[in-house]
Amino acid sequence: MTLPSASQRFVEQSAELGYIARPMVFPQGTKTSQDAANAAGCLLSQIAKSIVLTADGDPIVVLMSGDHRVDTKALAQAIGVDKVRRADLDVVRAATGYAAGGTPPFAHATPVMVYVDVSLKRNDEVWVAAGTPSTIFPMPLATMVEVAKAKWVDVAE
């Protein structure tokens, strides 16, 4: 199956970062973490969802286990800002270059700080979005953290 254009762009941008991404297309969709786990045949905890938020107005990405939610107050305290809120859809697209529900953990349109929650440490391999709500792929957790230049935080509810 042909990759959607956003996923193809993600593959090209990932290669520029030195990582060869091999996304798979799931026509039934992978928009929610449960949808993605069902499609991939993996545990919900193996889904590394990319959540775009704003920290004192600046976009950030938090990589969170599919079976947890972000505690925004804990995140604000952990990263030293006053307020963290969910980014609106226009901010998500402008900052990352991708739509919500398909935002990958790296290869964003603008430099965006990326944080990864410790809840993902339960997994050696995680499944991540590849630019659309129907494309995901597995990758080693350590590689995801390295390529995303992510900083560890403990901010799960």
Expressed as residue numbers, the domain containing 120 is 5-153
Per DSSP, the residues of 31-88 read -SHHHHHHHHT--GGGBEEEEEEEETTEEEEEEEETT--B-HHHHHHHHT-S-EEEPP
Q: Which element (helix H / strand E) includes 5?
A: helix 5-16
pTM for this structure? 0.94
Domain count, the chain: 1
The model's pLDDT over 24-33, given as tens digits with 9 standing for 90+, comes to 999 888 888 9
Query: 17-54 pLDDT, tens per residue?
Result: 999 999 999 988 888 899 999 999 999 999 999 999 99
